[in-house]
Amino acid sequence: MKEVLSQITNLSDKEGWLTFSYLLSEMKRAGARSLVLTLLPLLHLCQEGKISIMQDDIFSEILIHRLSAAEMKQGEEDDRE
């Protein structure tokens, strides 16, 4: 998970966005096993409130957003309510 979060931090644009396909290509991963080994940590990071993941339509590009410290704190506060 740390490797994936580090790659997201390094590869995202100044607003914290990148695509799943770009992340896979930059991590030099291909194939179904590699896809799963990248997707599972993403889901855990999302559950922990460190990133958000969006997809507009089925089979469309997956967008990943690295949350700032303020966004993470806001998410924690929202969870408590």
Kindly indicate the confidence band of residue 81, based on its pLDDT and cuts at 50, 70 and 90.
low
pLDDT, residue 80, reads 67
CA proximity to 22, closest of 67, 62, 68, 66: 62
| Tokens found for residue 52 | 């958000």
Q: Tens of pLDDT along 7-29?
A: 999 999 999 999 999 998 888 87
CA distance linking residue 45 with residue 1, whole number of Å? 7
| Domain 2-80 belongs in CATH node 3.40.140.10 | no
For 26-77, how does the pLDDT look when each residue is reduced to its tens digit (9 = 90+)? 888 778 888 888 999 999 999 999 999 999 999 999 999 999 888 877 767 7
The pTM of the whole model exceeds 0.85: no
